[in-house]
Amino acid sequence: MTEIQMPRLSDTMEEGVISSWRKSVGDKVSRGEVVAEIETDKALMELEAYDDGVLEKILVDEGATVPIGTPIAGLGDGSGAAAEAASAPAPAAAPAPAAEEAPASAAEPAAAAPAAAPAAPAEPGTKPKASPLAKAVAKEKGVDLATVQGTGPGGRIIRADIEAAAAAAPSAPAAAPAAAPAAPVVAASEDVEEIPLNKIQKVSAKRLTESKQQAPHFYLTSAIDVTELMSFRGNLNERLQAAGGPKVSVNDLVVKAVATALRANPSVNVSFGGDKLLQHKRINLGVAVAIEGGLVVPVVKDADRKSVSEIAKESRELAGRAREGKLKLDEMSGGTFSISNLGMFGIEQFSAVINPPEAAILAVGAARDEVQVRDGEFVARKILRVTLSADHRAVDGAVGAAFLQQLTALLEDPIRIIA
């Protein structure tokens, strides 16, 4: 029988939730056919079968959270389910798993033990046997598996054991008063509503915290005169619409200009690799999209090789699938540089946090009318402020400044963007 495991469906995924099973035990499955829907830290994704066969086992129930690599189902020729049902002995003297416990023990057979020997907590240095669901519940409730006595088959720790241990924990004598928290914590009350973080928010919080702690950020800001760019965009959209093409946004032009500037300044299109720099040959731009409950960053691949209208069409399609939770793995991975635009919210200037393993991100604000002095006269111009956040381990200040200088020149002379 072939195991179907919880796959890694994104570069940040550590665990997944079985949202729904599309197939039932006994159903025939063809290679490439969807067998389940998996909720990840970024979206709801479809799990496709890698082989033909019959779904003989479902090891993890819908709604359960399990780490990547955990067996969640078994695929065979159809004989396994019937044979197992006929030959499986009832456990003697061991309580049955709780009703909600997923039958994941079939994925990790317990070692044989003397029939009369009682189950005991794992010895120091050994890894306690526990079902994936029990591990997930233990992680959630902060229970150390090494301190839990399993009551499942072969001494396996099941969900009921974790819940019992968690319930008993408050009654245990405290060794010492708890240390005061480093920062004030707001206690739940009638005036405070607790809103649990969703998966996207949890992973974003973890990754962005790691980014700020590990990557020494520095910031460079440029004020760009985009008066000509705005006029150019209007003329370009008139022509595109007349030809039946898609309209382009200011952000589409920025994406194309960034891709062109990165081609001219490849030292910004890098990642820090410990004792080396990783120079990316492709220019894959992540474009941040706000969705309900978080932020995702779909990637426009080879942006420097695409026209502005192609970027506009692809960006809209990616953003639409992001909001529907239908982005595929390859549409969210492989980014080499990111762009975050808050101009549509009226934000004039901000600094973004680098999206690892990338070495830089560009924050784009709103274009505003400002008074400038031109040829000794006061004139109103459209000014756009952009801020480059860069990892100083990978990008020097002069390198970042040269990139922004090139980007400014492109946006102030927009015909060069499409030339």
pLDDT band at 10 (very low <50, low <70, confident <90, very high): low
Better pLDDT: 50 or 314: 314
pLDDT at 114: 39
Least-confidence region, from 87-96, 199-208, 322-331: 87-96
The pLDDT tens digits for 218-238 are: 999 999 999 999 999 999 999
pLDDT band at 362 (very low <50, low <70, confident <90, very high): very high
Least-confidence region, from 60-64, 300-304, 380-384: 60-64
Is 217 catalytic? The answer is no
pLDDT at 405: 97
pLDDT at 146: 82
pLDDT band at 188 (very low <50, low <70, confident <90, very high): low
Tell me: pLDDT of 104 over 50. Answer: no
Tell me: pLDDT of 374 over 50. Answer: yes
Least-confidence region, from 130-144, 161-175, 357-371: 161-175
- Give the pLDDT mean for 168-195: 59
Largest CA-CA distance found in the chain, in angstroms, rounded:
98
Least-confidence region, from 179-183, 250-254, 366-370, 415-419: 179-183
Q: What are phi and psi of 299, to 5 degrees?
A: -115, 130
Helices and strands in the chain, H and E counts = 9, 19
Percent of the chain with pLDDT over 90: 43
In sequence order, what DSSP letters do the residues of 6-39 get, joined into one string? ----STT-SEEEEEEESS-TT-EE-TT-EEEEEE
Give the number of residues written for the chain.
Answer: 419
Tell me: pLDDT of 135 over 50. Answer: yes
Better pLDDT: 350 or 104: 350
Report whether 150 contacts 117 (CB < 8 A): no
pLDDT at 132: 60
pLDDT at 178: 46
Rounded CA-CA distance 45/43 in Å is 6
- Give the pLDDT mean for 343-354: 94
Domains, the chain: 1-88 (2.40.50.100), 105-172 (4.10.320.10), 201-418 (3.30.559.10)
Rounded CA-CA distance 391/400 in Å is 10
- Give the pLDDT mean for 353-368: 94
Tell me: pLDDT of 177 over 60. Answer: no
pLDDT at 127: 59
Report whether 318 contacts 327 (CB < 8 A): yes
By C-alpha distance, which of 188, 129, 136 is closest to 18?
A: 136
Percent of the chain with pLDDT over 70: 79
Tell me: pLDDT of 175 over 60. Answer: no
pLDDT band at 12 (very low <50, low <70, confident <90, very high): low
Report the chain's mean pLDDT, rounded to a whole number.
81
pLDDT band at 294 (very low <50, low <70, confident <90, very high): confident
pLDDT at 418: 84
Least-confidence region, from 40-49, 52-61, 168-177, 311-320: 168-177
Which of 301, 316, 392, 393 is flagged as catalytic? 392
pLDDT at 338: 96
Radius of gyration of the chain (CA): 28
pLDDT band at 103 (very low <50, low <70, confident <90, very high): very low
Report whether 386 contacts 412 (CB < 8 A): no
